[in-house]
Structure 1
């Protein structure tokens, strides 16, 4: 597996599949690249897909130090540099969407088109999950069952026994999980959002309470040249359960850039 060297020397594992214009896929909090496994093939005929294991996850280095969504964005740049990719489309979901915001703010020349899925601008200005959800997730014995209910509809779960790829990297050391949680909780890109220059698509499930759907219109109103599309009935893992809606929407948005090229 190839690695990129981050600014601080941490080794960031990355994965490349498919051919075409580069598309970077950014996973959720405490997850590695396998987050995208169920839907990655949807993009590979038209795009070279690039993913990475966040520091603290998968095969990447796991330093016990402060993590931040802004620093995670620097790790993405390190991967692009290692691949010799000057610019790419960026698709980030959940915490990956928070990282994608910083990437578009701090390195606009590296971002062609931006897709933000089931994410928010941060707790200071965005809409956060309820205290009841936070308390339920704090019980290790119930975390997976609570997450599944937040990610998928009961009907879908009844017909899909797994494996599930959105429940976090089980190999993560406890300190790294804590570092990821703090990084996501402290995210606040509000002041930088109006400076994003990349055309932006925002996707969100109407029934998402993990990252409340009100964040979609909030982001769309804050980012210039952005629009929101809501996926009816979807929860947090809209990109998986509702892939027949979500993936074509992303491909159409990204294809619009190629049509004008």
Structure 2
């Protein structure tokens, strides 16, 4: 482990032998921040410091991203959730707040459902319960993201993440467009993990107080999934952000950050 002041980086060996990189910043109650599909911990760079007044933030590079191993197999949202628990065990954290966005929200659902004793409070952002009852993105979005031109795909993803008004004032670089160093097999593994996610049957077993957030203009994960999650998770609270797309947590940073901090107490 390297540790300088309020920064600590380490590697954790999971129960199936994969080395996973994790990062801890700040001091205070632990808050696990879980990134979107095919992204590493830098997904949170734009807002991470907003939580350091009360929390230490913990991130990880999913297997296949960042400094973590990229095995040929072992990509699923339940598997990623067990990697999160391995990180908590390694850091000696018995209980943490968990905030997951996009695929990270799917992973967080499994952490909260399978390990209720480890989650104090749960925040799910721009995510879905998965399974046949979830509301999927339009086929045209899928086709655009699977196109042969990398520059066109990146532009499409940027437009799905942020509104034109926001990108005009924030020219980037953007941290949410994927880890460019991923191997093709790891990128495919993340896609399969997200597409096959189905936590519908286990969501009613979530006992942690839960806040569900979404941008009302999100075409990557349609906002109708917010109501589905709230109906499945007992006593979940919700908030839609008007005009926001998938990366509401950056575009609505001040409002969303304050809401999450208040919820976490």
- The alignment's TM-score, normalised by the length of structure 1, stands at 0.96
The counterpart of 2:223, out of the listed 205, 213, 218, is 213
Contact 2:35 2:44 in 1 (8 A): yes
Aligned partner of 1:93 in structure 2 is: 101
> Residue 202 of structure 2 aligns to a residue in which SS?
helix
Name the CA distance, whole Å, in 2 between partners of 1:232 and 1:160.
19
Aligned partner of 2:18 in structure 1 is: 10
Q: Which runs of 5+ in 2 are unaligned?
A: 1-8
Give every structure 1 segment of 4 or more consecutive aligned residues whose post-TM-superposition deviation is greater than 6 Å: none
Supply the RMSD in Å over aligned alpha carbons. 0.7
Q: Which runs of 5+ in 1 are unaligned?
A: 256-261
The counterpart of 1:21, out of the listed 9, 14, 29, is 29
Q: Does residue 187 in structure 1 map to residue 187 in structure 2?
A: no
> Residue 2 of structure 1 aligns to a residue in which SS?
strand
> Residue 134 of structure 1 aligns to a residue in which SS?
helix
Per-residue deviation, 1:21: 0.5
Name the CA distance, whole Å, in 1 between partners of 2:79 and 2:33.
17
Aligned partner of 1:178 in structure 2 is: 188
Aligned partner of 1:110 in structure 2 is: 118
Aligned partner of 1:58 in structure 2 is: 66
Q: Does residue 73 in structure 1 map to residue 81 in structure 2?
A: yes
Name the CA distance, whole Å, in 2 between partners of 1:104 and 1:159.
37
Number of corresponding residues: 255
Name the CA distance, whole Å, in 2 between partners of 1:174 and 1:196.
34
- The alignment's TM-score, normalised by the length of structure 2, stands at 0.95
The counterpart of 1:201, out of the listed 203, 211, 233, is 211
Q: Which moved more, 1:134-143 or 1:47-56?
A: 134-143
The counterpart of 1:234, out of the listed 222, 228, 244, is 244
Name the CA distance, whole Å, in 2 between partners of 1:143 and 1:101.
28
